């Protein structure tokens, strides 16, 4: 059956009908949204006071970190309108977390599992379908909604020139695809330490991840002001291994939690003061003066402390 747009009401009715057609077989977890990170990522707090970063399953919205993409701010704003400071209900799939430790979920606005935020974003043209096996429970629903959004030229399908339907299992833009081919990348930056940044230097760190075994001897990590950390001679990472580079000295405490938990290695910049600017900065990974990878950010609200570098 084909549905034609006659305002937002019809679209939302379509979402409700299709969502209900796919049984929510797992119990939903209730949480309250503390803040919206971007169009497809939120931070929530559970009843036991546990705080988690939640990445929506099955969809991808344009970026607002590390470079602003077409319709990224609009997707962020619409996601905020739907969920910010509200109670939501989470449904997981086969894999509960991604490689960054983020909780993966279908997010609902009601305890019955009728109004799914993931689906609403796709239907209204704020998100594209992103297939990440084995989490495919609602994939057919998302694909149907995306087809309708494209045909009716909603949201990004109308406003972003040259946008094409991505190949299955890939919604990466050209820059993202280039990053995906790199052997080593900057995975995340925890830029805002708890308390005073200048007395809690190890509350800042950058996580580096290797896709294949690589020797990082003499490589450099720099900030936008070109302050440099030099990797020690003989230092290497194995495939899928990570290293956290803390701002301070090894003798200083490490009391903050955040992205890139349980790294394989820890290195220390040895700075007496904070490195990463809370208002925005650029981390660059360099070999022989050539930038291999970089990640930039702007502070997103007073509670923003880190950025996941997308690829």
Question: Is 43 a residue of the active site?
Answer: no
Consecutive H or E run containing 274? none
Rounded percentage of the chain residues whose pLDDT exceeds 90: 57
What is the pLDDT, as a whole number, of residue 198? 84
Q: Can you tell me the mean pLDDT for 227-232? A: 96
User: CA-to-CA distance for 2 and 269, rounded, in angstroms?
Assistant: 59
Report the DSSP beta bridge partners of residue 188: 207, 308
User: CA-to-CA distance for 36 and 107, rounded, in angstroms?
Assistant: 13
Beta strand segments in 156-305, E: 184-190, 205-210, 214-215, 220-222, 228-230, 236-237, 242-246, 265-268, 280-287, 290-298
Could you give all domains of the chain from N- to C-terminal order, each with its CATH number?
8-170 (2.40.50.90), 178-308 (2.60.40.1260)
Instruction: Give pLDDT tens digits for 45-60.
Output: 999 999 999 999 999 9
Active-site position among 35, 102, 154, 179: 102
Residue 136 has pLDDT above 90, yes or no: yes
Q: Can you tell me the mean pLDDT for 173-181? A: 52
Question: Is 97 a residue of the active site?
Answer: no
Active-site position among 43, 52, 63, 209: 63
Question: Is 102 a residue of the active site?
Answer: yes
User: CA-to-CA distance for 166 and 121, rounded, in angstroms?
Assistant: 17
pTM tops 0.75: no
User: CA-to-CA distance for 305 and 71, rounded, in angstroms?
Assistant: 24
Residue 34 has pLDDT above 80, yes or no: yes
Q: Are 127 and 102 in contact (CB under 8 A)?
A: no
| HSE (side-chain half, CA atoms, 13 Å) at 278 | 15
């Amino acid at each position: 059956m084909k549905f034609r747009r006659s305002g937002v009401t019809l679209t939302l009715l379509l979402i409700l009908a299709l969502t209900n057609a796919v049984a929510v077989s797992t119990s939903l977890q209730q949480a309250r949204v503390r803040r919206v990170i971007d169009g497809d990522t939120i931070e929530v707090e559970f009843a036991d006071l546990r705080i988690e970063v939640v990445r929506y399953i099955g969809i991808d919205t344009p970026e607002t970190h590390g470079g602003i993409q077409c319709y990224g701010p609009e997707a962020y704003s619409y996601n905020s309108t739907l969920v910010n400071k509200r109670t939501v209900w989470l449904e997981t799939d086969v894999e509960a977390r991604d490689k960054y430790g983020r909780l993966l979920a279908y997010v609902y606005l009601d305890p019955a599992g009728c109004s799914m935020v993931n689906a609403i974003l796709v239907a209204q043209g704020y998100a594209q379908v992103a297939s990440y096996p084995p989490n495919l429970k609602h994939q057919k629903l998302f694909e149907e909604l995306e087809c309708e959004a494209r045909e009716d030229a909603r949201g990004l399908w109308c406003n972003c020139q040259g946008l094409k339907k991505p190949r299955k299992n890939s919604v990466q833009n050209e820059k993202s695809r280039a990053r995906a081919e790199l052997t080593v990348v900057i995975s995340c930056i925890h830029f805002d330490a708890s308390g005073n940044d200048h007395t809690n230097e190890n509350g800042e760190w950058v996580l580096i991840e290797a896709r294949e075994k690589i020797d990082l001897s003499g490589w450099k990590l720099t900030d936008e002001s070109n302050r440099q950390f030099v990797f020690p001679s003989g230092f290497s990472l194995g495939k899928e291994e990570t290293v956290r580079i803390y701002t301070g000295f090894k003798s200083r405490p490490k009391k903050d939690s955040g992205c890139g938990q349980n790294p394989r290695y820890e290195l220390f910049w040895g700075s007496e003061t904070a490195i990463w600017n809370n208002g925005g900065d650029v981390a660059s990974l360099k070999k022989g003066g050539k930038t291999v990878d970089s990640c930039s950010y702007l502070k997103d609200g007073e509670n923003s402390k880190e950025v996941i570098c997308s690829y």
